[in-house]
Each structure stands twice: as C-alpha cells, then as structure tokens.
Amino acid sequence: MSNPGSLPESIASLPKAELHLHLEGSIQPPTVRTLTSRCGLNVSEEEIRLRYAYGNFSEFIEAFKWVTSFLREPRDYALITRDLAEYLLLQDVVYAEVTLSVGVMLLRQQRPEATFEAILRESEHFAGRGLRFNWIFDGVRQFGAEAAMQVVDAARNCASTSIVAFGIGGDELSVDTREFRSVYDAAANLGLHRLMHAGEVGGPEKIREAVELLDIERIGHGIASINDAALMDLLAERRIPLEICPTSNVRTGALALQLHRPLPAIEEHPLPQLYRHGIPVVLSTDDPAMFQTTLTEEYEHARRMGLSKPELAHLASLSFEYAFLSEAEKRALQHTPHEPTK
C-alpha cells in the first residue's frame, strides 16, 4: 500500500463507495501465486509484477486474460473475493458494486451459478465488518450479442437481489452498439440497471450511442466526452455519471489517446473539467491490483488535479448518490460504523 501523500485525513477517512471495480482485476500478486500453484505452476511475484506492467490497452487485456486463466473453481473466486474485501476495508470502503466478468466464465465453460454462490457466501462474511457488496454481471463486447444474452440468462438463473446491474466491457470498437438493444431490454426486464464501458478508448459517439440507443445509466470511463461539448451538456443535463478511473486511463494509454498527446501526466486528466461542467463523477479504481492503485490514491490524484477539499468530499458523496441502492440504504451506509484504518 503506498502512502496517500497529502490527502487531508478528513477525506482519507470518509466512508467510501466503489462503483467501478472488477473482481478479476483486484488479484494481488501473492494471491496470483496461490492461484497459479493450485494449477501446479510456480510463478514468482516478480514475474507477476512484470505481467502487471503495460504500456497500452492490448497489453493490459493480455495480462487480464493471463490472470483469469487461473480462475478455475468456485473456491478460486471465493479466495479473490476475500482478498478484495480485505483491500476495500483498508480504503474505508463501506459499499462496493463489483463487476464480474461472467462473459469470460461462460467462455471457459464454467457454471456462473456455482461460482457466484461461492462469491456471495464469502462476501457475506464481511457485512459484519461494515462492508456491503452488490454485483454487476458483465458481458464482453467482442463476443457479440448472443454471448451477452447468455450473461443476462446467468443473472436470471442466479436469482439474487444482490445482482443489481448488467454491463458490457471489452473492445468498444468491435460490435455495433445497437446490436445490444435486445440484450439490455432483457436485462431491464429482470430489474437490472444498465451499464456500459464507453468512451475509454473509443470516441464520444460510443457514449452518445450508449445513452441514446441503450438507455445506459452510468458510463464506464467516458473520458472521450471532453472532445464533444454537446455530449458534455447532455450528460450534465441528464445527470448521467461517468465512472472515472484516472490511474487506469494513464496505464492503458486511454488518456493519451483522448488528449491526443503521448504520455500525459495524471494531473492532465479531464476529471476536474467534467466534474465542474456538472457531470456527476464517481471516482473509482477499475482494476486496483493490475494498475497498482488504491481508492485513497485516486482521491489523492484528484486533489493533485486541483479539486478542493469540499469538492473531494462531494465526490465521495456522489459515489453513494449514484449507487444502485435505495435512499434509505445510501444514508445508512454513509453512517456505517466501519473499521478505521488508522
């Protein structure tokens, strides 16, 4: 865990919510070693750290594929859920909506029902320590609409009220947005909220399509909106949040792509511009282990981008405001007694 620097203690210790967080991107190197040894492989932590170092989006995807190839049994998912929960408690997170790559589970011919049961059982142990989870079932865009529909079917079969949303991630340049219309309608019929990764490495039109064709309620990343003033107005007017993950955007090269210049510093991230335009921003880590970041560090980055202390406190409250919870649950969670980290 690195030093959160000069983030005011009053911000660092606020109860927080994490809304854009992938379970499979949260596997710390020592846990990767446990998983690889379960598969009969002896991989050093140094090798894992090398695999977790990348300079662009496709290298990141390769690393994601590599690490998820060791997730074979429900007990493996239980282990990484425990790992993630302990990490979240260190960040004063009291609530997380965690994305599960169910599209990848199905590709590997695993049974999401058994896997999810193991995840749920493990996560429920943490309720007593002041950490609550809900879950997002995620399809992989480049696998197409039919495979995405199977993810919705899996959500139906799991029949859990803690599955709150359906989303699509992966290569946003691959399949046309409108092909997913019936998939999102099926998800909505199950009572699931609608999410999509858009405008991360794709252009602003991907965000506009997600909003206008699929009624997406929160956009994963969406930083391409800085290149389209009318879209920024639309997101602000309709109060559609962007799930902003600054370190991820630097590490995958998405920030360089959207700013049209190589190797931008994290301070050049458009978070302040988007936030001050009136677009709701929920600050997140995306894949904390794979990007070697923490939620506390993301708040420190936001501070270095120029956000004031009241603005940082407001950001923390936005992550509760735009969570898929009832108003009463949001209020209760923000006042949850939680394990203090210091």
Q: Helices (DSSP H) in 69-110: which residue ranges?
A: 74-90, 102-107
Interface with Zn ion (CB under 5 A), residue from 138, 286, 298, 300: 286
Q: Does 138 bind Zn ion (CB under 5 A)?
A: no
In degrees to the nearest 10, what's the CA dihedral of 90, 91, 92, 93? -110
Backbone angles phi, psi at 21, to 5 degrees: -155, 120
Our CA angle for 283, 98, 2, nearest 5°, is: 55
Site for Zn ion (CB under 5 A): how many residues? 1
Q: What is the dihedral of CA 2, 68, 97, 128, to 10 degrees?
A: -70
CB of 41 to Zn ion, least distance (A): 27
Smallest distance, Zn ion to C-beta of residue 284, A: 8
Pick between residue 112 and residue 167 the one whose CB is nearest to Zn ion.
Answer: 167
How many whole angstroms from its chain centre is CA 252? 14
| Span near Zn ion by CB under 5 A; candidates 77-85, 157-165, 272-280, 282-290 | 282-290
Least distance to Zn ion, CB of residue 172, Å: 11
Residues recognised as catalytic: 200
From the list 49-57, 222-230, 231-239, 281-289, the region that binds Zn ion by CB under 5 A is 281-289
Give CA–CA dist 260/44, Å, rounded: 37
CB nearer Zn ion, residue 217 or residue 286: 286
Quick one: which segment of 11-19, 74-82, 100-108, 278-286 binds Zn ion (CB under 5 A)?
278-286
φ/ψ region of 4 (left if φ > 0, alpha if ψ in -120 to 50, else beta) reads alpha
Please name every residue paired with 242 in a beta bridge, in sequence order, or none if there are none: 219, 281
Measured from the CB atom, the residue of 172 and 286 that comes closer to Zn ion is: 286
Residue nearest to Zn ion (CB): 286
Binding part of the chain for Zn ion, among 32-40, 45-53, 147-155, 286-294 by CB under 5 A, reads 286-294
Q: CB 22 → Zn ion: shortest distance, Å?
A: 6
φ, ψ of residue 332 to 5 degrees: the values are: -65, -40
Closest approach of Zn ion to the CB of residue 101, in Å = 10
Q: Which is nearer to Zn ion, 74 or 180 (CB)?
A: 180
User: Which one, 36 or 249, has the nearer CB to Zn ion?
Assistant: 249
End-to-end CA, the chain: 13
CA-wise closest residue to 209 among 233, 188, 179: 179
Give contact residues for Zn ion (rule: CB under 5 A). Answer: 286
